[in-house]
Structure 1
Amino acid sequence: MTKLTSDIFLLQETKLNPEKALEFKKICYFWDGIFQEAHGLARGLGILWNPSHIEISCFASSDFWMAYSIKCKKSNICFLLFNIYGRVKTEDKRKVWSKVSELALSLDLGKVVMVGDFNTILCAEDKWGGLKLPTKVVEDFKDFVTICKVADIIPKNGTFTWNNRRRDFVNIAERLDRFFIGEWWMLNHHSIDSIIEPQCGSDHYLISLNIGQDLERHKSYFKFLSMWWLDPTLLSHIKNWWCESNVFSGSPSFKFTKRLQFIKRRLKEWNNSSFKNVFAEKARIEGELEVVNSVIMAHGMTNVEFEAEKSLKAQYSDILRREE
């Protein structure tokens, strides 16, 4: 998440109790969030957003879906957002589709976005390997999409959003996670696309949706990196920069702000010169992971991709620990 720059994040199967959800929100710095309590080690939905750009309220929910009212502050566009988790059992899926479609039909379907782990596919091309899904399950899902009058946004860089991470003939990959949008977006925005983000850790891939320029992305925030403490000269540098910054005039709060900005700029310069190799290595691994994952998303996982991904993820995890 720290690498992505979306204004809204939606989570399914969080498995977070209230205490863990609160801890998770604290980690996310300036983000606001609403979390639905999990049941033991199952269920749980959540949404995080940037309050500088977005206003959100939840107006309806159940254990497996949440409905939000969204307002984009810059454009003043308001729309409905559904966060959905499709249950595993067929009969339970039907209950979720029925409740969500019933609510959606009572609202403005044009300005709607639906996102989630739907736990089923829409067509045979959405699955690689494993047993064929019962036709009735697929038809039920198609009926749900038709009733809600939404369009499926196909990722432009791959097909499969879930992979069982097993090799060769036992590998199964499916497109379980997806975005649906109402017709208003298609009539009023020429730029709509979905991307499957590089995988690292989960059997599900993150997917992102970009709609025109209204959901404008925010600038990245300054983050103090733990690996800086590995350099014993850090504190002496900060002391020197603090003394160097004592050149501003104005009110005490103005001078303090300017001195902090000065130190921030110096930290970035020092970071680029002292840790350049670390960041270059991280960029290299991310690039190689993206190539491997693009193959897995498009064609499934063979033994070659399994070993390559395993090695790259171990290297990537080591670098992330140094950044925490």
Structure 2
Amino acid sequence: MKIIKKLFKIFIILLLFIIGSTAFLLYGPFEKPRELWINTAMSTYTHQYLATFLFPKSTIDKVLSQNSINDKNEKVNIKSIDIKNLESLSAFNFNKSNEFDLQENSHKSDVSSNDYCNLNFISGKGFKGYLLTISDPSMVSVDVTENLNERGIKIKDYIKTKKVSAAINGGGFKDDSGHGNGGNPLGIIIKDSKIIFTEDKASYNFIGFNKDNILIAGNYSLNEIKKMNIRDGLSYFCRLIVNGKGLIEESSNNSGIQPRTAIGQTKDGKILMLVIDGRQLHSIGATLKQVQDIMLEYSAYNAVSLDGGSSSVMYYKNEIVSKPSSQYGERFLPSIFIVK
């Protein structure tokens, strides 16, 4: 009986400590934990109650109003991208050591590779994921569900009928209460040089490959996009890196800690695809700043954050290598980036 009482007392002390520590972080003088908590919760569709239950609407609105990214819509300098001779890319040497510490992040490389793809395991404080490097940008393109405007497709089903080396989720979609079926995309989609979907908007956050395989990202009108000779592209969440410069500041808590998907291009034309797992015990997710830092460390010259959250997924070599955050597995998606 004494042992039970002692254990109960210890449990109560620990519980009070946890409650007190949490209350201090959320309601104390430290703004960053509070902002991170609110942004993380409010960037989901199904867990916003984690913020609305704890904080008044005025506090939440104030935090969300500070989420702007210092993106002045600087144009991508396509002349800075010097793509190697595609005939020699299959001989590209990926076997370099790439182990390092980047502030709180440590990344290990060379999990798996083939002639033009190299898969790196990524880990940092609180997150794990994968970064795929594709030496030949002409092998990367956009594909869409066959039932556009009706129902999306899961990558695991897509690969049953299509032969691809790798794939990641692409653009966002209408997702009422977090239960959308992926059939109704947002923004714009271009596939095989044809515009196959557009929302009625004045401009679009657009990332796409032109016919020279250069990745262009920015906010453009439909007329501007039509003049760019785009072969494949879609809408993104936000830009991370433009002409070698990171846009996400250290103090930014925009969208909090989440599962993430990003795509970028190096100055010599290689494509980087990054997926970070989140909302799970092995990986809670990453901030936009952490994603930006990883892409910069791997020499991204231009990069964007794509649709993330429970949509984040990566397929490589006949398997889903990432771990989607939804308890139901992959989400249905309207669009994906594929590697042939």
TM-score (norm 1): 0.24
Instruction: Kindly indicate which of the two structures has a greater share of residues assigned to strand.
Output: 2
Instruction: Kindly indicate which of the two structures has a greater share of residues assigned to helix.
Output: 1
Q: Which has the larger radius of gyration?
A: 1
Larger relative contact order (CA 8 Å, sep ≥ 6): 2
